[in-house]
Amino acid sequence: MSIPKFDPKEIKSAAPGEMPVFDYPVTPKEGFLALYSKKPVWLNMYSYEVARFSPKINPDNVARAFVFDGTGMPKEEGGGKDMFGIEWEYVPAVGGSMVRPGKPFMSDANEWYDKLVWPDVESWNWEESAKINEGFFSKDKVNQVMLMNGWYERLISFMDFEGAILAMVDDEQKDAVKELFEKLSDLYINILDKYVKYYPQIEVYCIHDDWGSQKETFFSPDIVAELIVPPMRRVTDFLHSKGKICDLHSCGQILKQVPNMIEAGWDSWNPQPMNDFEKIYELYGDKILIGVMPDDVAVLKDLPEEEQRARAREFARKYTKPGKPAYLNYGATAMVTPAFIEELYKESRIICCGR
């Protein structure tokens, strides 16, 4: 793909206070896919270039109030039973759902062999869903599907947080957890195979599995390496065999777990703000794409415009390195300013392709 040098005409004027509009040299989809080939055309901006998809056919998405598809289902209709029959309650104040704690489905991980009823994915009406969503996908942006409730998150839904985290380290439960996670991978591969078949427009697959809190990871890297990485790797290997991109959504301050993300085969990760973006990028940015965020991003809007632009140029130079690209974290979108975005695009285009 031959990319022209930066032309100032690529930046279109916008109303005061609104984000700039770009006349990209290639489509945002092509630009985002070039990023994953480590040949970026600019410093990509996740929220500008990715179209979210989360189909209603998957009961987890309804239960979690996380449907984004051609049905137009509003969040307020969310809640109810997930694919395992676990009841979720929609909480309007937070715009999402949770399993009401205190009455876990299982008190011991060894119970799953007898208690779990596995979903019949073949009975879901995939043909109807494909028809409903035929015109939903973006032609210009990358289409990303979300798969909620990964391995540890699923265990939490069965056992509540306290029971799940104990099961991960209890010698009398760990073998059951290990076998459960492997069977979950069988299920997820089956579901994802249907996604590949019925929604061929999807390029990026994002799977959720939270591993940390505001201050620290929930469990040691050794536990993740033993229990989660092997079944995860089966799923990412499957998706890669289909030519798909694998993006991990995992909340918390989990710097210690990045080597496990790499071993599990993830192509990218969007860290939350409590993480040290620069440190993660410097240590691992050549092995996994990192969604980075400016330092002190919350005060950016209070700075003079020229200072905002200077910070954008510095940010572009820091995170646009040969063979080691990064992209603007989706969490930064609401905090950065129009001047910052405009200058970031301009500077990174020049770095990538010249002027």
pLDDT, one tens digit per residue, over 144-199 is 999 999 999 999 999 999 999 999 999 999 999 999 999 999 999 999 999 999 99
- pLDDT band at residue 331, thresholds of 50, 70 and 90? confident
Quick: pLDDT tens for 118-145: 999 999 999 999 999 999 999 999 999 9
How do the domains of the chain map onto residue ranges?
8-353
Considering only CA atoms, which of 354, 353, 294, 355 is closest in space to residue 326?
294
Residue 298 in this model has a pLDDT that exceeds 80? yes
Q: How far apart are CA 12 and CA 74, in angstroms?
A: 33
Cβ partners under 8 Å of residue 307, min gap 6: none
Residue 1 in this model has a pLDDT that exceeds 80? no
What DSSP line would sit under 50-95, residue for residue? Answer: EEEEB-TTSHHHHHTT--BSTT---GGG--EE-TTS-EEEEETTTT
CB contact at 8 A, 240 and 212: no
Over pLDDT 70: what percentage of the chain? 100
Q: Which CATH number fits domain 8-353: 3.20.20.210, 3.40.50.2300, 2.40.70.10, 1.10.10.10?
A: 3.20.20.210
- Which residues, listed in sequence order, are joined to residue 68 by a DSSP beta bridge? 54
pTM for this model (two decimals): 0.95
Q: How far apart are CA 245 and CA 254, in angstroms?
A: 22
| Mean pLDDT score, 279-305 | 95
Length of the chain equals 355
